[in-house]
A = this chain, B = another copy of it.
Amino acid sequence: MASPGPAFLLAQLGAHAARRFAERVAELDLTPPQAGLLRSVAREPGLSQQALAAHLGTPPTRVVALVDGLEERGLVERRRNLADRRLHALHLTEAGAALLREIGRVGAAHEDALLAALALLRREQLRGLLSRVVEEQRLTEGVHPGYRTLRDTRASDRETPGPVVR
C-alpha cells in the first residue's frame, strides 16, 4: 500500500484545518460560513445579497439565512437601496468590524498551531506552492468551496476555460 500522495494529503489536512478553525471560531459563536461572510462583506461592502451569493458560488437563499443570523446579532446590516428598492446592500456594523478583527486573531493562532511542524521559511514555501495551485485551479481568492454546490461548480466549469481535466 503506497503512502498517500500530495492530493490525498491536501484533502486530509484541509479537512483537519477546517475542523480546527471551526472549533476556534465557535468560541466567538460563529460558524466558518458566518466568518467567511463577514470577511467577504468587509472585502467589498455594499454588495447586494444576490451579488454576494454569486461571488461565493452559493444559492441566494443561503445568504439570506446567514445574513438573518448575523443581522439579529447586530454584526451586519441590510441597507435598502432607494433607487431600486428590491436591493439590499450589505455592510458591516462597527460590532461586525470588531468581531472580524477577533476572527483575524483567531485565524493567526490557528495557523500557528496547525503549521507548528514548519519553520516560517517553510510555511512561506508552502504558501507559495498552494497559491500556485489555487490560481491554476481557478479558485476564487479567499472563498472556501464549501459555499459552492456541485452543480454550480460544474456550471462555472462550462462557462470558463477552467483547469484541464483529463
Contacts and interface: CB of A to CB of B under 8 A. Distances in A.
Interface of A: 1, 3-19, 21-23, 39, 42-43, 107-118, 122-127, 129-137, 139, 141-146, 148, 150, 153, 163-166
The 4 closest A-B pairs by CB, nearest first: A14-B14, A117-B136, A7-B111, A9-B130
A123 B131 CA distance: 13
Contacts of A7: 17, 21, 107, 110-111, 114-115
A144 B6 contact: no
B15 A141 contact: no
A141 B133 CA distance: 23
A133 B107 CA distance: 17
A134 to B, nearest CB: 6
Nearest to A136: B117
A6 B14 CA distance: 10
A101 B9 CA distance: 19
8 contacts: A5-B127, A6-B115, A7-B111, A13-B139, A15-B15, A114-B137, A117-B137, A118-B132
Contacts of A39: 1
A19 B117 contact: no
A15 B163 contact: no
A8 B132 contact: no
B166 A112 contact: yes
A147 to B, nearest CB: 10
